[in-house]
Amino acid sequence: DQQVKQNSPSLSVQEGRISILNCDYTNSMFDYFLWYKKYPAEGPTFLISISSIKDKNEDGRFTVFLNKSAKHLSLHIVPSQPGDSAVYFCAASAHTGTASKLTFGTGTRLQVTL
Amino acid sequence: ETGVTQTPRHLVMGMTNKKSLKCEQHLGHNAMYWYKQSAKKPLELMFVYSLEERVENNSVPSRFSPECPNSSHLFLHLHTLQPEDSALYLCASSHVAGLSSYNEQFFGPGTRLTVL
């Protein structure tokens, strides 16, 4: 049973437009959410996170929105740039006061076209 | 070296071989993780070490054996693997989260393992 789902395997967006990547989760114990970006032949790179006490977190061109009632989060990238082309993973964690254990989605491949 | 490094980057082994994957973190973290990424599947957490003590073993077969000699190094010893174990193996590290804080994990580039 997949607790973190990214239902869109791929997304194509024109340069300069907004990219919206979506993620749904089922475990109501999750209280911390992260987005990672992965280029080929590299490990995932941390992008942005949000805790469940917030509904929005912004860092430059990247904003993550959290809708706890819908168990849904989204990553907005605006404006999108060709260098943003990568696979984006959503991850969630339930706080345990010890090492964080992340549950990942399957990823969404973003292609930013010129 | 900075960040999280993994060696080797690529490994091809037969089912009867014994090999080890190595991970080293230069971030001063005190928790380390092994993940497996198979094609079209989400990253699967395999093992977690917190303060050099194993705190998680996600029903991983015994042919995978982790070792964490200190907070900077993590190994994954492999023996009698199966072809279905072919995957990308990723190491990550983080600070141990406090009771009111969270910490993101930083990943290495991974080892691409092929079992023949």
Check A95 against B96: CB less than 8 A apart.
no
| SS3 at position B32 | strand
**CA pair distance B29, B99, nearest whole angstrom:** 17
pLDDT tens for B71-105 read 999 999 999 999 999 999 999 999 876 655 667 89
The pLDDT of residue B53 is 78
**CA pair distance B47, B45, nearest whole angstrom:** 6
Q: What is the overall mean pLDDT for chain B?
A: 89
Chain A residue numbers with beta carbons less than 8 Å from the beta carbon of B87 are none
Check B56 against A99: CB less than 8 A apart.
yes
List Cα–Cα distances, B103 to A37, A84, A86, A93, B48, in angstroms: 17, 24, 23, 10, 14
**A4 pLDDT exceeds 80?**
yes
Instruction: Kindly tell me the sign of the dihedral angle through the C-alpha atoms of B10, B15, B18, B20.
Output: positive
Mean pLDDT of A41-69: 94
The pLDDT of residue A98 is 64
The pLDDT of residue A97 is 60
The pLDDT of residue B99 is 57
The pLDDT of residue B40 is 78
- A92: which residues sit within 8 A by CB, 6+ positions away? A3, A4, A25, A27, A30, A32, A33, A34, A102, A103
Mean pLDDT of B33-62: 86
Lowest mean pLDDT among A66-70, A89-93, B11-15, B95-99: B95-99
Name residues 71-110 of chain B within 8 A of A (Cβ).
90, 92, 94, 96-99, 102-110
pLDDT tens for A13-29 read 999 999 999 999 999 98
| B-interface mutation test, from A27, A102, A108, A109, most B Cβ less than 10 A away | A102
Specify the DSSP class assigned to residue A9.
S
pLDDT tens for B11-30 read 999 888 899 999 999 999 98
From B90's Cα to the closest Cα of chain A, the distance in A is 7
Q: Which of B6, B92, B98 faces A97 most closely, judged by CB atoms?
A: B98
